[in-house]
Amino acid sequence: MSTRREFITLLGSAAAWPIAARAQQSERTRHIGLIGSGSASSQAALVGAFERRLRDLGWSEGRNVAMEYRWAEGRPARFAEIASEFVRLKVDIIFATGTEAALAAKKATTFIPIVFPVSGDPVGAELVTSLARPGGNVTGLSNLNSELAPKRLQIFRDVLPALRQMAVLVNANSPAAVLELREVQTAGHTLGIEVTPLETWRTDDIAPALRSLRNRAEALYVVGDPLMNFNRIRINTFALAARLPTMHVQREYVEAAGLMSYGPNFPELYLRAADLVDKLLRGAKPADLPVEQPTKFEFVVNLVTAEALDLAIPPSLLARADEVIE
């Protein structure tokens, strides 16, 4: 009888063990390595949105998830170094906040899942094989920057009907930014606008590039990427001094005294990226998660900047704006 009881107890323990093991596994701390393209302060709102959504999905810092933050602070050369560090730390997921950061992570590992919240053209930049079937260990969201370039130029033309010369500030290190530049040049040709590229590679190049304009342009199109976002106050300060109306890819630039922006809501993209991270932490594979695209776009105008430039924004255009900063 005693032997039978021991056997039943042993059998019960064996049956219960996988359940306990699964519970223990689900509660183990997962490590997420975040490659910040800017600084903690410059990306606070976006990263904050990502973190809040993770908490809503059940991932709490100190309980079942640990965040490792590394900030490139506008220095793209740091991406490879940070990615290699995360591979050494054996993080569970790399969250790369831009195309260049994601490319560096992809080069560093083929095993650790990588999620990017924004990329202008993830297929063209060779981050993924296709949007529907990413393949490999990378997935995320496209912000459609290249596709939206013609729309931004048309808005510029609506504000400045006589626009004939436009400068384009671009990070030549960024594959996605270079692709967008090409789309801007094509759209400019269609609208009869001469496009002057201002190529930069690092923060120190931005001021000399803008100074080089010297009355060579009537407006400035800023190709959005982490380097430009990190330097958005610097860029808009120079643009205002040169009395150049500016077009940007996201509202954060306009909040920093840019004139206009047209594009997706970036905090929303970071929220949706958290959903992808959640799925990966629960066992999904990056190759099985299609790259998502924005569902809505916003047009933002800064009337304070317009007034500083003595520029009248047509009422019909203001009526189309999702937000007007006054």
Cα gap 95→235, rounded to integer Å: 27
Domain enclosing residue 84, as ranges: 7-143+266-288
282-314 confidence digits (pLDDT tens)? 999 999 999 999 988 999 999 999 999 999 999
Tell me: do 164 and 75 sit in the same domain.
no
Same domain, 84 and 208: no
Report strand pairing: 65-71 vs 93-96: unpaired
Number of independent structural domains in the chain: 2
Question: Is 187 part of any domain?
Answer: yes
Considering the domain boundaries, does residue 1 fall inside one? Answer: no
Does residue 50 sit within a domain?
yes
In a domain, 149, yes or no: yes
pLDDT recorded at residue 205: 94
Question: Does 2 fall in a domain?
Answer: no
Same domain, 26 and 98: yes
pLDDT attached to residue 198: 96
Say whether both 222 and 301 belong to one domain: yes
Whether 314 and 195 map to the same domain: the answer is yes
> Is position 92 within any domain?
yes
Domain check: are 139 and 280 in the same one? yes
What is the C-alpha separation between 166 and 223, in angstroms, rounded? 13
Task: Report the CATH number at residue 105.
Answer: 3.40.50.2300
Amino acid 10: pLDDT: 41
Q: What is the pLDDT of residue 174?
A: 84
> 194: which 2 tokens?
């001469």
In a domain, 79, yes or no: yes
Question: What's the pLDDT score for residue 76?
Answer: 84
What is the pTM for the complete model shown? Answer: 0.82
Together in a domain, 72 and 174:
no
Look at residue 4 in the predicted model and tell me its pLDDT: 43
Q: In the prediction, which pLDDT does 125 show?
A: 85
State whether 11 and 98 are in the same domain. yes
Is position 33 within any domain?
yes
Positions in the chain short of pLDDT 70: 1-27
Shared domain check, 318 and 206: yes
Do 104 and 56 sit in the same domain of this protein?
A: yes
Q: 133 and 152 share a domain?
A: no
Q: Are residues 192 and 138 in the same domain?
A: no
State the residue for tokens 């304009």.
213
